[in-house]
A and B are shown apart, each in its own frame.
Chain A
């Protein structure tokens, strides 16, 4: 700092008192003006529709990834307060989805937008808004399944346990089973359909699916295999019991 200023200094007593007074008064006046000035707040109604991806790319001046990160933080600040009872509930979700789409377009490798969509925005107690967000996750998952599978897996969970929409959960589970090929994804990701079918009481279909999985030899872990075989056996017993009860 000293070399940056590169100068000789006189003592403070050489500064005229009126200058020091003016500095103190100016600082006090600035603090008063700033205190009176209303602090900016991003309420739900303030969220505007996003500009086009091309325009955002142009405005990012060749830094789309940095722009996407900043936009994500900015989007997150709307209608959110730590400790508030239901954050994000009042947001216009069609706009939120449009913003998330732009952010993913700018930075396709980012996990943040998909994560917030499935784990934060999809958690609001409003089924219509939840469905919008789950649909966004599903749509964008299909573009890069091996990277985005965790968020669709959580979307299947939300559809099953919160929305109680088993056909929707099954749709996501089928997509996960069909499209996720990375070895990084745990096996349960590809087994989700079985559990959902079981909940839907589609026992025959569940049995075929689970039997196929066990027979395929994909499961290398002995404990996991034993667990699935036990589950298959239980399923067969349930089917038998239901057949007997039907007679």
Chain B
């Protein structure tokens, strides 16, 4: 069996599973909930009610999107482990890489659809031109989280451990900028402990995507990023996905099933 058609088949079935898992309904409920909260705040806000709505809906949907994607990837993969689907697949004469790529493409397509679906309601609060960069950045963020979740679940093969690791990764990536700012106070200090703290945080930051700079709510309520900034996010996402997929493949090839 050729690698590419096999990966395509895996991707198609992963997408089919996303649809049968009622992921769209879950996303729809999330949108309805976020819009409900925005409507409530719209009544309460004395001024800038549209900005309040845009900011709140965007923040809720961004986190919800990450949660849905990570939970879907992890539970879907663990189900395949438990049902021995993976072992059946690997018994066929196909490279392991095609299975991982197929899964990644299927999950990423679902994640991309969620990003678009979550961006659409924001048009109710702000101009479409402002929503587009936000949506593209969210899509990049979700695709990175797909790769990270895939890596975590392939390595840990356990729901709680994989969810925990992916969540920790996300929280760390969102907060590493603040940690760098705090640690930078010691960069000219003579004390080795200050320098060690600064270097450690800087080293961790180099291994993480700067999620605190991505998908910013301020793009919806004030000025959006220029194309160069958006291109930089896309480049960072591509490089990071390549790295994490390579790490996932490395680990997957070492496992005995």
Chain A contacts to B: CB under 8 angstroms:
4-12, 14-16, 19-20, 22-23, 25-27, 29-31, 33-35, 37, 39-42, 73-74, 76-77, 80-84
A15 with B254, Cβ < 8 A, contacts A81-B185, A84-B188 known: yes
Are A19 and B239 touching (Cβ within 8 A)? Answer: no
Q: Which residues of B contact A73 (CB under 8 A)?
A: 182
CA distance A78 to B156 in the complex (A): 40
Asked if B64 lies at the interface with its beta carbon under 8 angstroms from chain A, I say: no
Q: Which residues from 140 to 167 on chain B have a C-beta closer than 8 Å to any C-beta of chain A? A: 155-158, 161
**A109 CB to nearest chain B CB (Å):** 22
Counting chain A CB atoms within 10 Å of each CB, the highest count among B178, B205, B254 belongs to B254
Q: Which residues of B contact A81 (CB under 8 A)?
A: 184-185, 187-188
Asked if B206 lies at the interface with its beta carbon under 8 angstroms from chain A, I say: yes
Are B253 and A14 touching (Cβ within 8 A)? Answer: yes
Chain B contacts to A: CB under 8 angstroms:
97, 155-158, 161, 177-178, 180-182, 184-189, 194, 202, 205-207, 210, 212, 232, 235-236, 239-240, 242-247, 249-250, 253-256
Are A19 and B185 touching (Cβ within 8 A)? Answer: no
Q: Which residues of B contact A83 (CB under 8 A)?
A: 188-189
CA distance A42 to B182 in the complex (A): 9
**B179 CB to nearest chain A CB (Å):** 9
A29 with B188, Cβ < 8 A, contacts A4-B161, A14-B254, A34-B206 known: no
Q: Which residues of A contact B236 (CB under 8 A)?
A: 33, 37
Chain B: which residue is nearest A23 at the CB level?
Answer: B246
Are A77 and B182 touching (Cβ within 8 A)? Answer: yes
Are A9 and B184 touching (Cβ within 8 A)? Answer: no
Interface SS of chain B? helix
Chain A: which residue is nearest B189 at the CB level?
Answer: A82
CA distance A4 to B185 in the complex (A): 38
Chain B: which residue is nearest A29 at the CB level?
Answer: B239
Q: Indicate which residue in A8, A9, A29, A82 contacts B243 across the interface (CB closer than 8 Å).
A: A29
A26 with B243, Cβ < 8 A, contacts A10-B254, A15-B250, A42-B181 known: yes
Are A29 and B187 touching (Cβ within 8 A)? Answer: no
Q: List 26 A-B contacts (CB under 8 A).
A: A5-B155, A8-B255, A10-B256, A15-B249, A16-B97, A16-B253, A19-B246, A23-B243, A25-B246, A26-B239, A26-B244, A26-B247, A27-B243, A29-B242, A30-B239, A31-B206, A33-B236, A39-B202, A40-B210, A41-B181, A42-B184, A77-B182, A77-B184, A81-B185, A82-B188, A84-B188
Are B185 and A82 touching (Cβ within 8 A)? Answer: yes
Are B242 and A22 touching (Cβ within 8 A)? Answer: yes
CA distance A39 to B157 in the complex (A): 35
Q: Which residues of B contact A19 (CB under 8 A)?
A: 97, 246, 249-250, 253
